[in-house]
Amino acid sequence: GEHSDSTFVTVSDDPRLGNRNDIKLAQKTALEQLQKASEKLTKALDQLSEAEEVCNKMNAQLKGADPKATDSLSKLTKKMLEQIKKIRDKISGPTEEKQGLSRNPFLVTVLSQLRGAQQSITAKSAAPGQAEATLMGNAETAVNNIVKEINEFFAGSWTAYKNYAEANRPPLFKEYKPID
């Protein structure tokens, strides 16, 4: 209602720890560097999602068409979906079909390397050192390698699939004769 009150509160660091601004700034800089790799990976994953969506739409179009005419396009679409799945498995690990938490904690993926580097930076109350730099380097290398693989997929297999699909797309309309 009618009555309100406000006050300003200043939150300070624990005085027993001393001034840790340099440590926080070093951690922030390291995390910002990793963020660039994360953004690059996100763009690549978005492209994969769009490609998967195109394949699913193609499968939907092929369902009602003549199987003889669409067999090779259907097989090629399935092959594209398998390639996309293989790339995603390298990024985040294979998806488990069984219920519950069943991921392999020892499986090294691109995401596990990124998360590991981020956790290593934020877990300590010290500036990132050589160990964190190594983890960051490994994570960035993993991201660059998978992005390179995704770029090669789109430049090679995907372009060939796109050209074939555009040339061999089944007609959506069928000829109707007058009904007597």
Nearest to 84 by CA among 158, 134, 10, 171: 158
pLDDT of residue 97: 73
In percent, the amount of the chain with pLDDT more than 90 equals: 64
72: in domain: yes
Q: Mean pLDDT throughout 77-90?
A: 96
Query: What's the rounded Cα separation, in Å, for the pair 108 and 11?
Result: 40
Q: For 5-57, write each residue's pLDDT tens digit.
A: 889 999 887 888 778 889 999 999 999 999 999 999 999 999 999 999 999 99
59: in domain: yes
H helix intervals, the chain: 21-63, 67-92, 110-123, 130-153, 159-168
176: in domain: no
13: in domain: no
70: alpha, beta or left? (left if phi > 0; alpha if psi -120 to 50): alpha
Q: For 121-130, write each residue's pLDDT tens digit.
A: 999 889 999 9
101: in domain: no
Q: Rg of the Cα trace of the chain?
A: 26
4: in domain: no
User: By residue range, what is the domain housing residue 134?
Assistant: 21-95+107-168
Q: Which has the higher per-residue pLDDT, 139 or 125? A: 139
Cα distances (Å, whole numbers) of residue 120 to 14, 59, 98: 22, 44, 31
76: in domain: yes
Joined together, the tokens standing for residue 95 give: 């998806």
11: alpha, beta or left? (left if phi > 0; alpha if psi -120 to 50): beta
**Number of independent structural domains in the chain:** 1
- The model's pTM is 0.81
**Is the pLDDT assigned to residue 119 strictly greater than 90?**
yes
175: in domain: no
